[in-house]
Amino acid sequence: MQKGKEAKKLRGKEVAGKVSDVLKLIKFSHTVFSMPFAVMSAFLAGKGMPSLRQSVIIIIALVSARSCAMAFNRLADVKYDTHNPRTAYRATLQQKIGSHNVWFFMMVSAAIFILSACALNRLSLILSPMALFIILGYSYTKRFTSLSHLVLGLALALAPIGAWVGIKGEFSIPPFIIALAVMLWVTGFDIIYSCQDVEYDKGAGLYSLPKKVGMKSALILSFVSHVLAILALLSLMYFTDLYIIYFIGVCLVAGLLFYEHSLVKPDDLSKVNAAFFTVNGMVGLVFMCMSLVDIFLFSAKLG
């Protein structure tokens, strides 16, 4: 009996270890990038707090969709990750986990996403396969286009649209404006991040804007993309009841993005990780917090 208990504990530890490794492999912490904009979109759609049921299901849908996409990305890119010094740990970790386990995790995540969409409303269910096609298809874009950054932006931009549809069951202009801002924001910071892989991309035959136009020009395009993202966020005020606190939030986001660009130079990429994760994580959280305060103080009353 004692041996049976010890065996169960050992199996439990093994399962927990596998789950921990999978979460590391898919960089679960990076969920912070898309989640705040989706949450804001859901609250804007509901003119205040959505129902607890809707909120929980939307969060489950977002997490499962991203988890599915990241697991698939690791499987699709294992050949490249193995030979890229920056990403070699991914291949090592995947080997430790077992590719069959990663496939299983990916398929379970996809099923949870579709079931979550079904639990929200009919339109969400209808759109869920298209969403999966886009977020999974991104993984192959670096093989044939330098605009893969834009496709990644599109993949993350689906989150605020999906959240809005999950609450309202219909399309409207505001979520598409938020999605445009997210797409431009993600495109901008992914260009910065991909500067680290220029030499590897040349040897591997992969595509990116830094490789195509050079790092200096790519960083300029990244800056332009972020300026356009800020303009998109400001334009949202015209189509909604968002007011002064939201405006202050957008100004803070603009300041963070400006700071992000000050960290990275064509001849100095030592602070790319700080620019990528720390600053962009703050961008999402600042935007969400300021937006929600504005929605509760103004939009909810007007609704």
Q: Within a 10 A sphere around the Cβ of 15, how many other Cβ atoms?
A: 10
Phi-psi category of residue 264: left, alpha or beta, with phi > 0 → left and psi -120 to 50 → alpha: beta
Q: What is the pTM of this model?
A: 0.93
- Diameter of the chain by CA atoms? 69
Whole-number Å distance between alpha carbons of 187 and 206: 17
Q: By the 8 A CB rule, do 178 and 41 touch? A: yes
Quick one: CA torsion of 253, 257, 258, 260, rounded to 10 degrees? 140
In which band, very low, low, confident or very high, does the pLDDT at 270 lie, cut at 50, 70 and 90?
confident
| 200: Cα within 13 Å, side-chain hemisphere | 15
Task: Give the pLDDT confidence score for residue 303 in this predicted structure.
Answer: 46
Which option is the CATH number for 17-22+29-302: 1.10.357.140, 2.40.50.1070, 3.30.200.20, 1.10.3720.10? 1.10.357.140
Q: What angle do CA 49, 53, 55 make, to 5 degrees?
A: 50
pLDDT tens for residues 33-66?
Answer: 779 999 999 999 988 889 999 999 999 999 999 9
User: From the CA atom positions of the chain, what is the Rg in Å?
Assistant: 20
Which range has the worst mean pLDDT, 7-21, 154-168, 187-201?
Answer: 7-21
pLDDT tens for residues 277-296?
Answer: 789 889 999 999 999 999 98
Whole-number Å distance between alpha carbons of 47 and 177: 17
Q: By the 8 A CB rule, do 275 and 295 touch? A: no
In which band, very low, low, confident or very high, does the pLDDT at 302 lie, cut at 50, 70 and 90?
very low
